[in-house]
Amino acid sequence: MAVKPVRRMGDPVLLARAQPVEKIPSPALDALIQDMKDTMTALDGAGLAAPQIGVPLRVVIFGVQANPRYPQVAEVPMTILINPVIEALSADEDEDWEGCLSVPGMRGLVPRHRRIRYRGVDAAGRPIDREVEGFHARVVQHECDHLDGILYPMRIRDLRHFGYETILFPDGVGAPD
Ligand code: NI
């Protein structure tokens, strides 16, 4: 369909609570997901939430293939997740570096639950119910935060660990957006 402009931090749509999708499946939902996939692929992103292209609905997509740029990062299956619900499965948190297509060029050290269960449906309305950990759990938490108007810089505990990727990682080792 189309690569859409990605809204950047400061845009009110990124701070709003997104609304549940009520009709699944639907041609309008399929068109939104195609735009999200096209946009994420064009920008080489690890995930994207609908508000990032200006659509205030509870839809996220994510997926990471093995990538030589990020050898420390595990593969995450390409997933379309609608009306997600996340449940923490342990009190343990990990801190790791995150980036975001809405905060281009920056990286921050963000705490996330190490293990989560997430549920929702795919574009056909089929249920998704997974227990995941580590990087996969981090990506899901980051994307679902977008649906509640939360950007990762809001979760950084120590803002000394927030900066420009090229300064923080001059050798090019960082985290995917
Ligand atoms: Ni993001």
The structural domains of the chain, with segments of one domain joined by +, span: 12-168
Q: Which CATH superfamily is domain 12-168 in?
A: Peptide deformylase (3.90.45.10)
CA 151 vs CA 45, 66, 145, 154, 176: distances in Å: 16, 25, 7, 6, 15
On whether the CB atoms of residues 50 and 56 are closer than 8 A, the answer is: yes
Between CA 156 and CA 102 the distance in angstroms is 16
Rounded to the nearest angstrom, the distance between the alpha carbon of 24 and the centre of ligand 1 is: 24
Q: Which of the residues are catalytic? A: 143
Q: Ligand 1 centroid to 108 CA: how many Å?
A: 12
Question: Cβ distance 158 to 167 under 8 Å?
Answer: no
DSSP state of 115: E
Ligand 1 midpoint to CA 101 (Å): 6
| pLDDT score of 137 | 97
pLDDT: is 1 or 106 the higher one? 106
Question: CA 81, CA 126: separation in Å to the nearest integer?
Answer: 10
DSSP lists the bridge partners of residue 87 as: 117
Please check the confidence at residue 47 and state whether its pLDDT lies above 80. yes
Residue of 140, 153, 160, 163 lying closest to 48 (CA atoms): 140
pLDDT at 108: 98
Rounded Cα gap, residues 108 and 55, in angstroms? 25
Q: What pLDDT is recorded for position 96? A: 96
Nearest to 145 by CA among 10, 5, 18: 18
* Ion ligand 1: protein residues whose beta carbon lies under 5 Å: 100
140, 87 Cβ separation under 8 angstroms: no
Q: Give me ligand 1 centre to Cα 29, in Å.
A: 20
pTM over 0.75: yes
Tell me the per-residue pLDDT of 56-94, one tens digit each, with 9 for 90 and over.
Answer: 999 999 999 877 767 778 899 999 999 999 999 989 999
Residue-wise pLDDT tens digits, 133-153:
999 999 999 999 999 999 999
Ligand 1 centroid distance, CA of 134 (Å): 17
